[in-house]
A and B are shown apart, each in its own frame.
Chain A
Amino acid sequence: MTEDSTAAATATTAIETEEQDTTTTPLAAAPSELRIEHEQRQQKQREEIHALNKETLHHLLYQMVLIRRFEEKAAEAYTLGKIGGFCHLYIGQEAVAVGSISALRPDDYVITSYRDHGHAIAKGIPADEVMAELYGRAGGCSAGKGGSMHLFDRDVNYLGGHGIVGGQIPLGTGVAFASKYQGTDRATLCYFGEAAVNQGAFHESLNMAQLWKLPCVYICENNQYGMGTSLQRAMSLQNVSEKACAYDVASEFVDGMDVLAVRAATERAVARARQESLPTLLEIRTYRFMGHSMSDPGNYRTRSEIEKFQERDPIKLFRENLKTQNMLTDEENASIEARVKDEVERSAQFADSSPEPAPEELFAHVYANPIVNSEQ
């Protein structure tokens, strides 16, 4: 069927009842309103497609499909016990990482939370090394010591996946501080979930960023849930982008199911960072189609809610629009799928054949400078 079939199947089997959970507040917009809005947004994307060349459009599609298939493979490997611990999949949110990172130069920085596979791939960490990291192998991008939540790659200016909700927000602020201090015009994209907005780290960071005029783009990926807690049950003012005014920070609300809208908004924010050395808060509304992590049974959402959002699957929408705008033939689409399949298969093979980290790795990299006079 379509590209979202696996995700839909997995997500729906996870839902035990269609009845509204008494603790779950219905999401803001009713389905009919969403549909009208959806049509308008589709029309907008169709228009925007013509601003980009075919190569760029295909690259965006390729990356989104790659992340989707990569995550499906990771889910499979997880159930086989090849991946352990917490594993937070990005399925449904691909347009956010792909659209925003496509607005960057290679020397710009990216930092995010534990839900970091998509950003890592979009920023250019080879899928092989990402998969090997999930497998806990020496060939992983963090040498097998970070795992799913802590992907790092200095070569592509990827500053990690961070596991403490909101912890990466001051870090990203500091990276932007350094860019300004060093007199460069590098931008930093700092991602976090909407639940992280309730942390002090978010508020402290936005205050500092505007106070000191730091070139940081704060991207709130509002997938509308923490683990099982909906935004409505956790946030007094649910309009995240509005919070920026408390710190005099520029902000935008963006449709996270539209890869081109994400790209365009990020381009505006990055221009503000480079040219004016100013921060921006982007609230990018999205939805995760899978559980919070691989161990989440997902009882807090209804099947109909998930299906409603799956109608706006960012890959499906973009592909349909590319086709109707004569920017993607069936053959080209098939070739993208085939190349992705190949890349994902190879990543799993690479991960499988990569050795486990050597026992000495246990004590390597605790300190950067050698310790005198000590066994520690």
Chain B
Amino acid sequence: MAVITIREALNQAMREEMRRDENVFLMGEEVAAYQGAYKVSKGLLEEFGEKRVIDSPITELGFAGLGVGAAMVGLRPVIEFMTFNFSILATDQIINSAAKMLYMSGGQYKVPIVFRGPGGSAYQVSSQHSQALESWFAHFPGVKVVMPATAADAKGLLKSAIRDDDPVIFIEQERMYGSKGEVPDEADFTIPLGVADVKREGTDATIVARSLMVPIALKAAEELEQQGISCEVVDPRTIRPLDIETIINSVKKTNRVVIAEESHPFCGVGAEISAQIMERAFDYLDAPVKRLSGVDAPMPYARNLEKLALPDVARMVAAVREVSYLD
């Protein structure tokens, strides 16, 4: 198995899918000549040419809608948002067009499209450039939402997302592009959407973590092990469809759960997972579900404040100890 960065894994996924299916094309700001604002699309213009790797004007609503229209009649667009912060301008096309097209056409027009790009918190770019939007998109039936946390997941899930016949929101953590991991060498390595991954097995408490929270949860689990607490780390990988079964099974085993997320807590994905655990595994809980979210305030610029705004290893350790009634 090769060890590569998430950036390279995503690049490989797009390259392989573009080789496999000529209906796949990549469009977005700076994706072609500039090689991607985060260099995820490096070398794709050279290999596939201007027809299939297209620099767009700064026109998010426009090119998101263009992608949806193209998908309705047979293409498989990969639309890159320079960051998901800018996808907000395109939400009409994502939510009102992409998510609902198949349904309101009575099953006639599917929309096989991937909207991808970096999201979540970034380093010191303040409120408008550092936020997690998955709960927005995950709210709507008709879209799928994917958030990989490792290089292997990034590659396998992006390949599946491109092959999927539904609109997929694929959120890459902006701070994690350089993070490395093993990726299987098989030519056609994919990971199905909607299947969670137990990133670490344990018996005493479950941490449900996605995206940037996964490495933090794994570090917290290591520390907790030294304190005699065995943590299971479950990464849903796909927010919608959510593999609640795997989460419930873990909770039934450990009876305690912390849900970690970068996003604001209010109406967040953590709130949804918490509600589903309550509905399906109430009797198995030995302590109330604990959410460890980003704070309920916009992201500040100052380094010290920014650190305070996000869950970290120390807080995650404390949260697990709290649901274990240890402090």
Distance (whole angstroms) from the CB of B90 to the closest CB of chain A? 9
Stretch at the interface among A137-145, A287-295, A315-323, A331-339: A137-145
Which B residues between 182 and 204 are near A, CB-CB below 8 angstroms?
A: 192-196
Known: A178-B70, A373-B195. A364 touches B107 (CB 8 A): yes
CA distance A238 to B142 in the complex (A): 38
- Chain B 59-86 near chain A by CB (<8 Å), digits 1 or 0: 1011111111111111101000000000
The residue from A152, A159, A204, A367 contacting B106, defined by CB atoms under 8 A apart:
A152
- Chain A 204-222 near chain B by CB (<8 Å), digits 1 or 0: 1101100110000000000
Known: A145-B103, A376-B141. A208 touches B56 (CB 8 A): yes
The residue from B62, B63, B65, B142 contacting A366, defined by CB atoms under 8 A apart:
B142
Which A residues between 126 and 173 are near B, CB-CB below 8 angstroms?
A: 140-146, 150, 152-154, 159-160, 162-164, 167, 169-173
Question: Would A162 and B97 count as touching, CB distance under 8 A?
Answer: yes
Q: List, in ascending order, chain A residues with CB within 8 A of B192's CB.
A: 372
- Chain B 274-300 near chain A by CB (<8 Å), digits 1 or 0: 000000000000000000000000000
Q: List, in ascending order, chain A residues with CB within 8 A of B195's CB.
A: 372-373
- Chain B 73-115 near chain A by CB (<8 Å), digits 1 or 0: 1110100000000000000110011000111111111101000
Known: A177-B70, A207-B62. A372 touches B97 (CB 8 A): no
Q: List, in ascending order, chain B residues with CB within 8 A of A109's CB.
A: 73
- Chain B 146-166 near chain A by CB (<8 Å), digits 1 or 0: 000000000000000000111
Which A residues between 85 and 116 are near B, CB-CB below 8 angstroms?
A: 109, 111
CA distance A140 to B108 in the complex (A): 12
The residue from A167, A176, A181, A376 contacting B96, defined by CB atoms under 8 A apart:
A167
- A371 interface contact, C-beta 8 A: yes
Question: Would A153 and B108 count as touching, CB distance under 8 A?
Answer: yes
Question: Would B59 and A204 count as touching, CB distance under 8 A?
Answer: yes
- A347 interface contact, C-beta 8 A: no
CA distance A243 to B196 in the complex (A): 51
Known: A173-B65, A178-B75, A181-B70. A159 touches B241 (CB 8 A): no
Q: List, in ascending order, chain A residues with CB within 8 A of B10's CB.
A: none
- A251 interface contact, C-beta 8 A: no
Q: List, in ascending order, chain B residues with CB within 8 A of A201's CB.
A: 61-62, 65, 92
* Most chain A beta-carbon neighbours within 10 Å: one of B67, B69, B107, B194: B69
Question: Would B104 and A142 count as touching, CB distance under 8 A?
Answer: yes
Distance (whole angstroms) from the CB of B18 to the closest CB of chain A? 13
Nearest CB to that of A146 among chain B residues? Answer: B104
The residue from A169, A175, A207 contacting B70, defined by CB atoms under 8 A apart:
A175
Stretch at the interface among B40-48, B242-250, B318-326: B242-250
Distance (whole angstroms) from the CB of A137 to the closest CB of chain B? 11
Nearest CB to that of B192 among chain A residues? Answer: A372
Nearest CB to that of A177 among chain B residues? Answer: B70
Q: List, in ascending order, chain B residues with CB within 8 A of A154's CB.
A: 105, 108-109
Question: Would A365 and B107 count as touching, CB distance under 8 A?
Answer: yes
- A53 interface contact, C-beta 8 A: no
Distance (whole angstroms) from the CB of A201 to the closest CB of chain B? 6
Known: A181-B70, A181-B75. A142 touches B105 (CB 8 A): yes
- A182 interface contact, C-beta 8 A: yes
Q: List, in ascending order, chain B residues with CB within 8 A of A153's CB.
A: 108
Q: List, in ascending order, chain B residues with CB within 8 A of A181's CB.
A: 25, 51, 70, 75
Question: Would B66 and A143 count as touching, CB distance under 8 A?
Answer: no
Nearest CB to that of A188 among chain B residues? Answer: B69
Q: List, in ascending order, chain B residues with CB within 8 A of A372's CB.
A: 192-195, 241, 243
- B7 interface contact, C-beta 8 A: no
The residue from A152, A167, A173 contacting B92, defined by CB atoms under 8 A apart:
A167
CA distance A204 to B54 in the complex (A): 16
The residue from A111, A170, A179 contacting B61, defined by CB atoms under 8 A apart:
A170
Q: List, in ascending order, chain B residues with CB within 8 A of A368's CB.
A: 102, 110, 112, 165-166
Q: List, in ascending order, chain A residues with CB within 8 A of B244's CB.
A: 373-375
CA distance A200 to B61 in the complex (A): 8
Known: A170-B62, A170-B93, A372-B192. A140 touches B241 (CB 8 A): no
- B264 interface contact, C-beta 8 A: no
- B240 interface contact, C-beta 8 A: yes
**6 A-B residue contacts at CB 8 Å?**
A169-B65, A175-B69, A176-B69, A178-B75, A181-B25, A369-B166
Query: Residues of B with Cβ closer than 8 Å to A?
Result: 25, 51, 54, 56-57, 59, 61-75, 77, 92-93, 96-97, 101-110, 112, 141-142, 144, 164-166, 192-196, 240-246
